[in-house]
Every structure is written in structure tokens, then in C-alpha cells.
A and B are shown apart, each in its own frame.
Chain A
Amino acid sequence: MKKFSKKHVIIYSAVTLIILILAAFSFKLGNNPVSNAIGTVISPVQSVCSSAFNGVKGFFGNIFNAGNMAEENEKLREEVYTLKDELRMLDGYKTENDRLQKLLDLKESRTDFNSIGANIIGKKIDDENSIITIDKGSKDGVEVNSVVFVPEGLVGVVFEVNTNYSKIKTIFDAESSVSAICLRSGDMGIAEPVENMTTGGKCALNYIDRSAKTVIGDVIETSGTGGIYPRGIVIGKITQIKEDSRNLTLSAVLETEVNINRLDRVLVTVK
């Protein structure tokens, strides 16, 4: 067995130094040629595998996702009793068609910006990060700060663009904050993620003025201020309003219809 010699110390130090230099460049430039080149090769494979694994993913998701298991089980049971095989297959096509139609309607309804459809080819979700990767990149017109959304609401913003894939930080990522407005009352706030909800379903609306007339059930949209998110993309619905710890402002709990685990297609704004 080889021993760890001085030569190895020098080699490992040199490699570490090169990686640190690349990391520094990546931090400065947004991405680096090495990761772009590798990503360009990997992302098509990832895209193909993503489609192939979709069925398996759903199967495992149902088994292990204890929170949704009862609901899913109920749904499946209803399907078994109410639909025959042929009808179920047709229903599948119809659902897919509706979903695509919804995306198309949404795309056509927004004339203030151009958008394209993209497939999600990977997800990285842990207790703080909520990052997804899509199969569209700079060659399709995607830019850093392009906004990603679905008919159910806002998903996030592109933070890194490579030739044929892009990385998106969702609004449920710990570092995310979105300027938001209440559609009915016009009150403003900042939509921020809540702890342990990186897959979606809930987020917080903070820094609402104490005199705000927002009530439970109000729909919250992006306000358009800040220059990244265009106005009028739904974020969620208010389910709870409370005073903050210092009694200076109000904060609300938003229920979002976007669930990162269930997303497979999104719209992304382009040049």
C-alpha cells in the first residue's frame, strides 16, 4: 500500500489551491468554464434520466413521504374504484393536456415579458437550500435573474446560467426574499421562506404595515419593485396574520400552491 508522502502533500495542496482559485473565479463571474463544460455534457444525460426516473420517483415518493401518504392513498383508492384502465389512461392524457394548456394560457396572458417552457432535470432540497435545475440555458435566452413560475404561482429566480441548463433558487430557499403586494388592499410586504418548508407549501409575508387592511384569504402577488420579479405573479394566499415580536409590523403566513417536489415543468422568462 502506498504511503502518504511529501509528494502527495504537494500534489493535494496544489489541487486544493486550483479548486480554491476556480471557486473564487466562480464567485466573481457567476460560473466558470470548467463547470460550464462539464454541465453541458451532463445536463442532456440528466434530462433523459429525469424523464425515465419520473415514474420511479413518484413511486418512491409515495412510499416514503409519510405526510402525504394517506392523502395519496385515498386518491389512488378512489381512482381504482371509479375508473377503468382505459379511462384512466385517457384521464392521464387529459391531465397532461390541461397542465400544458394552463402553462400556455399563462404564457400568452403575460405580454409584458417573454417566457419559454422548461423541464426540471434535478432538485437539491435540504433544511436550508431549495435549488432546482432546468434544461434551458443561455442558448435559449435564459439570463441570471430570469423569473421562474407556474400557473399555481411563483417558483423562484435563476441564479446561474450555463449553455444548456440553469440553476434556480426557489422562493422557499433560506436566502430568498420577494417584494410582495396584497391584490385587494394594496398593502406591501416581503415574502420570505419559513423554517423547514424548503419544498414549498408555506412561506411568510413579513414587514406589513401595522395599519394594513390585509385579511385572511387575501391573494398575495409580486409587487414588481426591486427590478427582478415582474408585477402580478401569484405567491400565495394569507392563512394567518400576527404581530411581530416587537409589535412594529405585522407578519402573515402564506399558503402557496407551489410544491417543489411535484413540479416537473415550469415557465422561465427570457430576453
Chain B
Amino acid sequence: MKYVWKIAGIYLAFLLQSLIFENLRMFSCSPDLLAAVVIIAAVSENFVPASILGGFAGLLYDVMYGEVFGINLLLYTYLALLVSLATDRRSSNSPLIMSWVCFVSIASLEIVIALFKTAMGNTPAFGQLCANILVKGLFGALFALCFVLIVQYIKRKRVETSEIAQKKEAAE
């Protein structure tokens, strides 16, 4: 059931990315919500489910927008795999670590994409690469920060509610 929610979350992120975030442009690039969601999911999962979730995100991208099938599928699968292998699952509780992981992962993803384009004879301008890292990375970091804070707040509220209920029961 947990994975159904995560897959639904990734699909929602994909819809938001393609229908809203593609229109939000700063320095000629738009924030990458999908990558941020995949990274957050990958940190909180073991590497096999993380890769599957990443692969699902890449597959959606390839099916709807990819010029050649498989590029994003591989990129997102390995992004999720590496993030999951490189991080501790407990890191998902720390907003600062999550922001940092998100920024570094998105920056690495952008560099890999730039290298891939260079290999195809289509070198992107260095300034554009920096703008991509800045806009997408900072957005990802901010999103991760907000996401973890909101999740922690909801968890805290739940604990408080259950504690109040227990006290009431005890009093009765």
C-alpha cells in the first residue's frame, strides 16, 4: 500500500511538472519537481524499490516527451539507485540533510545530462548549465526542506492527538 501511495505521488509530480512547472521559467529553465520527488522517495527507501520508483518516473517522461525511449528511464533509475545507496534512510527525517542531498543530486543529474549532450555533439553553454543547477537545485532543496518539515509537523500532530486520546481514556 505504501508503494501505491509513492507511485501515485510520483505520477502527481509528473502531472504537475508537465502541466504547471514547465511554464514556470527562470533563466530559461524550469524547476524539476519530478527529480526532487524521486530523490526524496529514494532517500527513504531501500535501493530496489527506490530504483523502481525512479524508473517509473523516467518511464513516464520517456513515454510522453522522450525523443528516444529509455534515456530518462535509465537516468532516473540510476539517480534513485545511487541516492538510495549513498544515503542513510534516517536522513529522511532531517530537513537540512534532505535539502542538501536534493541539491547535490539534481546538480549531478544536470552535469550528467550536460556531459551526455556534449557526447552527442551538442555542448550546452556553461552559463546555462550553471542556471540549470541553480534554479533546479535550489528549487529541489527548497521543496525537500518544505516536504520534510510538513511531514514532521503531521507526525507530531498525530502523536499529540493520540497522546490526548490516551490521557482521556486513562482519565475515564
Contact = CB atoms under 8 A, between A and B. Distances in A.
A and B assemble together: yes
Contacts, number: 114
Given A35-B63, A122-B18, A16 B74 contact: yes
Contact of B29 (A38, A57, A127): A127
Nearest to A25: B69
Interface of B: 15-16, 18-20, 22-26, 28-30, 46-48, 51, 59-60, 62-71, 73-74, 77, 81, 85, 89, 117, 122, 124, 128, 132
Contacts of B48: 2, 8
Contacts of B89: 1
Contacts of A169: 67
B7 to A, nearest CB: 13
Which 10 residue pairs are nearest across A and B when measured between Cβ atoms? A23-B70, A26-B69, A124-B65, A64-B24, A53-B19, A122-B18, A19-B70, A196-B28, A35-B63, A61-B23
B26 A122 contact: no
B20 A60 contact: yes
A61 B59 CA distance: 27
Contact of A23 (B65, B71, B81): B71
Contacts of B64: 39, 42-43, 46, 122, 124, 133, 165, 167
- Measured as residues with beta carbon below 8 angstroms from the partner, the interface class of chain A is 35 or more
A127 B132 contact: yes
Interface of A: 1-2, 4, 8, 12, 15-16, 19-20, 22-23, 26-27, 31-32, 34-35, 38-39, 42-43, 46, 49-50, 53, 56-57, 60-61, 64-66, 122-129, 131, 133, 159-160, 165, 167, 169, 174, 196, 198-199, 261
A60 B23 contact: yes
Contacts of A123: 18, 22-23
Contacts of B30: 125-126
A124 B62 CA distance: 11
B69 A23 contact: yes
Given A19-B74, A42-B60, A53-B15, A65 B23 contact: yes
Contacts of B122: 128, 174
A178 B30 CA distance: 27
A1 B24 CA distance: 39
A65 B26 CA distance: 8
Contacts of B69: 22-23, 26, 31-32, 34-35
Contacts of A167: 64-65, 67
Contacts of B124: 127-128
A56 B16 CA distance: 10
A131 B72 CA distance: 15
Contacts of A64: 23-26
A32 B62 CA distance: 11
Contacts of B60: 38, 42
A129 to B, nearest CB: 8
Nearest to A174: B122
A127 B63 contact: no
Given A65-B23, A123-B23, 12 more contacts: A1-B89, A12-B51, A22-B70, A38-B59, A60-B23, A128-B124, A129-B67, A131-B65, A133-B64, A159-B67, A167-B67, A174-B122
A32 B77 CA distance: 20
